Amino acid sequence: MKYKYSIPVFILISGVLALSSCKKDFLDVTATDRIPTNTLESDTAVFEAFVTNEYIGTKLQDKEADGTNPGFGRGFEYSMWSSLTDESIYNNDDATWIIQRGQLAPESLGALGVIWGRSYRSIRECNYALTVLAKIQMSAAHKTMLEGEIKFIRAFRYQDLIRNYGKVVLMGDKVMGLKDDLQDPALFKRATIKEGIDYVVAQLDDAASKLPQDNSGSWVGGRATKGAALALKSRLTLYAASPLYAAGTWDAAVNAAQQVIALNKYNIYQGGYGNMFLINQSTESIFERVYTKNANHVHLEIANGPNGYGGWAGNTPTQTMVEAYDLTNGLPANATNPLYDPAKPYENRDPRFKATILYNGAAYRERNIETFIPGGKDSRDGNDNWNTTKTGYYLKKFMNDAYPLQNPWGNAGFQPWIYFRYAEILLNFAEASNEAYGPDAVPAGASFSARQAINMIRARTGVNMPAVIAVGKDDMRIAIRHERQIELAFEEHRFYDVRRWKIAEVTENLPCRGVIITKNADGSFSFASKIALDGRKFEPKHYWLPIPRAEILASGNKLDQNPLY
């Protein structure tokens, strides 16, 4: 999808501030569809509402923001971020297949075309909020918390920019307006990756020192806390130490993860892996977006449900993702594993498999899934077969069976989107600690090793996978990467993980496979591999996204494009 801007998006005036005036009395009217600037800058309740609204971005593209506008990243949209990876494909394309097929271009970014514009717009609005905060009358304590909140939101927007484009323009606290020199070369100078991450980490340290530790009273769930700021710092320092970024140290990443752990506030949720994604503010959740009646997200159950139930298939898991799940003895599902039966390939899997993927024979709502042919209700022989999965699987994770699948409008779409949870922090710690000290050393200031951290996740009630037995740093690296793939599946990590590890030229060039299941006359099933989406392609330039051509042109070609685009 293409956009045309007359000036760079990151210095556009926000709609809420785009007030007009005229010397002619008959045109000097008070707008009724926006808040006057003087009200925003003097009424503390209005100003705080402006700040909390910054958790939500502006809709810039079709097929997004169904229900409410986007937050950070992508979250619950029709086509999820997983469908830009080897985790799933989006059954109905919606501008995702060009990314899977390596056809990205500055003029054609598909579902990824809004990150630059949305992020810089929010950064400008945060900078404006900081200028208002300095002048508005309110208690010093509350003003301090709001400053931390604004800086956290701004830092999150920079994270979205850095992990997608690498080098970014750091705006500082500047608030650019239409009367400023919008062709000043300094506006388009991209900082190095290290400069960008160092700046954001410093902002997060400042934010963490100002934010409350808990959500309580008027600081409701969904607003940032100290833990949220430190969790974002943990993620960024892990990225910085990774091969693609090469802009930090593993030791710094260990320390950042340990800062979250040391809060002694979060733990591994023991109420069921799948249930964790259906409830607000579990003990594992560090920062999440909360939805409510009349402020919902995509109705996930119909958008991703099997065609036999009246669903639209949506984000359909790949065979690659299915095969990533080990069996309950902790070993891969292959002929050498005594628990593996090729006639019943979905049995004895890591319990997170059944909580994440719907497969042929899986219990779902009032019956079992039927993706087999001939005659399967959720296959091409079923109803609404234009919505039949192309991979042979459907998504289970995030789906709430208590919500209606058919005619759900207004009665679904309330699951939280979890931005950070404790399992991610433990995985960050495990990866960094293993790289810095090996699998079994306990770093100074920590209370456990990389191995112990990963085993805490695997010991979750209802998962109870065997302890990792990897020997040495290299084997543990493989185990940790695999654990991230399983534990964090469909949560917007895989896209960035395979890039920061610089393995995307392998993982993203593999065919997108699915399965054809044939029901035999005796009731048994035969399984055959198929290509679910042809033409997957990843080139070295795809480690970073191209900056939209409209932004390059608006800068008078002063803004440097990413290499090879």
DSSP states of 346-401 as a string? Answer: TTTB-TTTTTTEE-TT-EETTEE----BTT-TTSTTSTTGGG--SSS-EE-TT--T
Question: How far is Cα 316 from Cα 208, in angstroms, rounded to an integer?
Answer: 38
Position 6 scores a pLDDT of 34
**Cβ(339)–Cβ(329) under 8 Å?**
yes
Question: How far is Cα 47 from Cα 49, in angstroms, rounded to an integer?
Answer: 5
Position 63 scores a pLDDT of 81
Position 25 scores a pLDDT of 58
Q: What ranges in 17-56 are assigned the alpha helix state H? A: 37-40, 44-52
pLDDT in tens, the chain (565 residues): 333 333 344 333 333 333 334 444 555 667 777 888 999 999 999 999 999 999 999 999 888 888 899 999 999 999 999 999 999 999 999 999 999 999 999 999 999 999 999 999 999 999 999 999 999 999 999 999 999 999 999 999 999 999 999 999 999 999 999 999 999 999 999 999 999 999 999 999 999 999 999 999 999 999 999 999 999 999 999 999 999 999 999 999 999 999 999 999 999 999 999 999 999 999 999 999 999 999 999 999 999 999 999 999 999 999 999 999 999 999 999 999 999 999 999 999 999 999 999 999 999 999 999 999 999 999 999 999 999 999 999 999 999 999 999 999 999 999 999 999 999 999 999 999 999 999 999 999 999 999 999 999 999 999 999 999 999 999 999 999 999 999 999 999 999 999 999 999 999 999 999 999 999 999 999 999 999 999 999 999 999 999 999 999 999 999 999 999 9
DSSP one-letter string for 227-296: HHHHHHHHHHHHHHHSTTT--S-HHHHHHHHHHHHTT-------S-TTGGGTSSS-TTEEEEE--BTTB-
Position 22 scores a pLDDT of 45
Single-letter code of the amino acid located at 23? K
DSSP one-letter string for 451-500: HHHHHHHHTSTTT-PPPP---HHHHHHHHHHHHHHHHTTTSS-HHHHHHH
What's the token pair of residue 402? 């208590």
Residue reference for tokens 């498999």: 353
Q: How many CB atoms lie within 10 A of CB 84?
A: 23
Classify residue 300 by its DSSP letter.
H
Position 27 scores a pLDDT of 59
